[in-house]
Structure 1
Amino acid sequence: MRKLLLCGALCALLSVPAQAGKPVTAEVGKGWSQDDKLPKQPVAFPGGVVAVPDLTYATIPGYRALKLDIYHKQGAKDRPLILYIHGGGWAVGNSRGLAAFADFPAVLADLAARGYAVAAVNYRLKGEAIFPAQSQDVDAAIRWLRANAGTYGIDPKRIGVFGDSAGGHLTAMAAVDCDRSVAVEKGDCVQVAVPWYGIYDFTVTDKPRPPEDFKPIHDFLGCKDAADCVEEIKAVGPINHVDAKTPPFLLLHGELDAAVPPIQAKVMLDKLKSVGAPARMVIYPGVNHGWMAQDVELMRSTHVRALQDTVDFFDEVLKP
């Protein structure tokens, strides 16, 4: 009896005729297509700025699509570009957060209102791919932004980068390790860099540290220990790629940074000056990694000061 009831329901379902008069519609291209055609909903900010989220800048087989956000004034032309690269130990983080800023997209929109186009990039994290995948992704984003400069009002000859912690490291790498054989308006080189509390020399420490402190770095590089990592540690250090063609740098660091000690900024500054590259350093008193401090007002004021120093430096170099 149960089988008869099941068959009856199934047979009745299968006997329902297809809706007549409604042919399917589909536009067919000339080849395989993985383009994301779902419209990106723009978000309006004060000052006439519009943010366009989740634009795909690269598709690498075996990985998620790589995306970035753009903040710009519609109709504006030939604006210098600021690219933000997020931190998080190369393991976490995304394009919409930085330190303790309560609404970082609003911060980026404010930069766009000052006369810039602004982009914020996501890259493959170390759990997805080992170095140099992260730098390659940033380079790919820069090339994509230049290729689409006309759409977003970007001057492809004026690009600055900034980022924090792991993003500070990738900011420095973008500035010192690029393909200079390609024309500026088409390649991945940038014209100015402002890394926040970044790592520049993976062989320098402020004090003896236990081997376990270096495990995240070895994981990032895909090797077991320091002995197995000699060439990788050299390649990952921005300090080892500095030369006379390196663009202007502003190095920002906290005096009490226990995660990435200020000696990192100091050795990088010395290296930059040794080759004649324009470089400055600012050490903010009383703050730790991420501009953190027990004094809430000091933490707040340092966030604002670091942002102001960053914008002033971009104004000086990109908007002469």
Structure 2
Amino acid sequence: MTALTEFERLEAQGSWRETPEARLREVIVSVGDATLTLSDPKSDRPLSHWSLPAVTRLNPGKIPAIYSPRADGPDETLEVDDPLMIDAIERVQRAIALRRAHPGRLRGVLMLIAALAMAAAAVIWLPDAMTRHAARIAPPAQAHAIGKAVLADITRSTGATCERSSGRAVLDWIAPRLIAEGAEIHVVPAPVNGARRLPGQVYVLGNDMLLTAPGPEAAAGHLIAAQMAVTERDLLLDALEYAGTGAVLRLLTLGTLPEDALRGYGEQLLQRSAPAPGDERLLRAFEEKGISSEPYARSLDPTGRSVMPLIEADPFRDGPPPKPLLTDQQWLALQQICAG
């Protein structure tokens, strides 16, 4: 498409209302040379074709952008919150308007000006937008591969992950129960200041959390806190911003990052303070998982002074103790995961 030379095909999710009385319906929006196509995301069947020159934005400057195929009596409407798609629609409309409004000898000059403007916009706007777009659309398998790459870089500082089979079996058993289906927990020999969540539901825990605690509750608390403290999209965005525009472009076109794109990122990540969610959210999660909050709080501050709200509001402080998270045999196997 002439107005969007950097993309072979540009698609985004949108919400389409066929009539004012109809319910919003999820669609895939794709931009052509002069048309906007709305398709069913399940069958790829086109549902509507709009002429881009006639498309009108009903709420300029607001997000999500609301479009109609005509300004007078907008029967159909489309809501789009993807900044890349919103900008693309406006750029194509501008290009069409320029071709129509300035025919003849001025056309070449105007096309050159438009090209220079788009080039300037690409230099200033495109890298950040492209990185955010890549973080937003990354499928789970791609996010997991990025998480494993970050883990591999972390092990350059901490030593290789501990993989003693009995301890590994405990981690594989507890990960979906404690965090989510598909989650992976890895233990490294060196401290990582609690637990760290990496892209793709990959978690890393320092062996010190297993050796210095009387039970698994403290380590479990750090894993839950790591899960709640940051979203998957923010994790991916942070990693991709470190990787750089060239690496992100390769990810979008070939599906993988360059091998050394995240070199040094893991070490940088460990130098930051581990993010933590608010106490109220964390306490609710502990109650849902059946875990006392005091062991986690004491691992942060053995004196308890700075974490008193977590201790005093322990959901199991005045009631019967929660069901043990692991059996004695499982806990012993987990403590020995780095042995041998």
Q: Return the TM-score normalized by structure 2.
A: 0.24
Report the TM-score, using the length of structure 1 for normalisation. Answer: 0.26
Larger Rg: 2
**Which structure features the higher share of helix residues?**
2
